[in-house]
Amino acid sequence: MADEHVDVSVLGTLRDVMEGEYPSLLDVFIKDSETRVRALNQLIRAPGFSVESAAQLQPLGMMAHSFKGSSSNMGATRLTELCRLLEELARNQSAADGAVVNQLVQAITDEFSVVRDLFDVELQACTLR
């Protein structure tokens, strides 16, 4: 498992804490995150979305904040960091740039698919154990 994507020691702790529930935690995280990624993409691609609008930036920031929290708990280090950048960008309206936001959401989408693949492997390993 690539260390820059997922902190192995965090997964070790989670395995410890969750015991038999460990696979379903991974599963719940994957399903939950798929929804979040879809929602992020829908939000910025919605017609009339503009970084100039505080009303539209706020839900973006909240989504990023929430995703950051669960990613951090799952040891998804890079995903957490990308969410943190998006959250800060959304909060700081003057610095928000439509192109950067699009790039960040794309990076989060890509990073999540890497993490999902890694967790799928982990899930298969669980079944084998």
Partner 1 sequence: MTGSAPPERLKILIADDNASDRMLLSAIISRQGHEVLSASDGAEAVALFERNRPQLVLMDALMPVMDGFEAARRIKELAGEALVPIIFLTSLTEGEGLARCLDAGGDDFVAKPYNQGVLAAKINAMNRLRLLQETVLQQRDLIARHHKYLLNEQRVAKAVFDQIAHSGCLSAPNIRYLQSPYALFNGDLLLAAWAPSGNMHVLLGDFTGHGLPAAVGAMPLAEVFYGMTAKGYGLPETLREMNAKLKRILPVDMFCCAALISVNFKQHLVEVWNGGLPDGYLLHGDGRPHTPLVSAHLPLGVLSANSFDDNTQVYPFGAGDRVFLLSDGVVDSTDESGEMFGTRRLQNVFVSNRNPAMLIEEVQWALARFRGQVRDDVSMVEVGFTQPELLGPPSVIYTDSGDSSPLDWSASFEFRASTLKRFNPLPYLLQLLQEVHGLRLQSSELYIVLSELYSNALEHGVLGLDSALKRDAEGFALYYQQRGERLDALERGFIRFNFQIIPVGQGGRLIVEVHDSGSGFDAQQVLSLPPAVDQLSGRGLSLVRQLSDRCQWSLDGRTACVEFAWEGLAYSRDS
Interface residue with partner 1 among 41, 70, 93, 102 (CB under 8 A) is 70
Binding segment for partner 1 (CB under 8 A), chosen from 14-22, 37-45, 48-56, 103-111, is 14-22
Interface residue with partner 1 among 42, 50, 53, 73 (CB under 8 A) is 73
Binding segment for partner 1 (CB under 8 A), chosen from 21-29, 45-53, 93-101, 104-112, is 21-29
- Contacts with partner 1 in 22-61 (CB under 8 A)? 24-25, 28-29, 31-32
Positive or negative torsion for Cα 67, 69, 75, 79: positive
**What is the smallest separation between the CB atom of 103 and partner 1, expressed in angstroms?**
23
Q: Fill in the amino acid letter for 126.
A: C
Buried b (16+ CB within 10 A) or exposed e, 20-53: eebbebbeebbeebeebbeebeeebeeeebebee
- Quick one: 84 or 102, whose CB is closer to partner 1? 84
Please give the C-alpha separations between residue 22 and each of 15, 29, 125, in angstroms, as whole numbers: 6, 11, 12
The Cα 49–Cα 57 span in angstroms is 9
Q: Which residues are at the interface with partner 1 (CB under 8 A)?
A: 10, 13-14, 17-19, 21, 24-25, 28-29, 31-32, 62, 65-66, 68-70, 72-75, 91
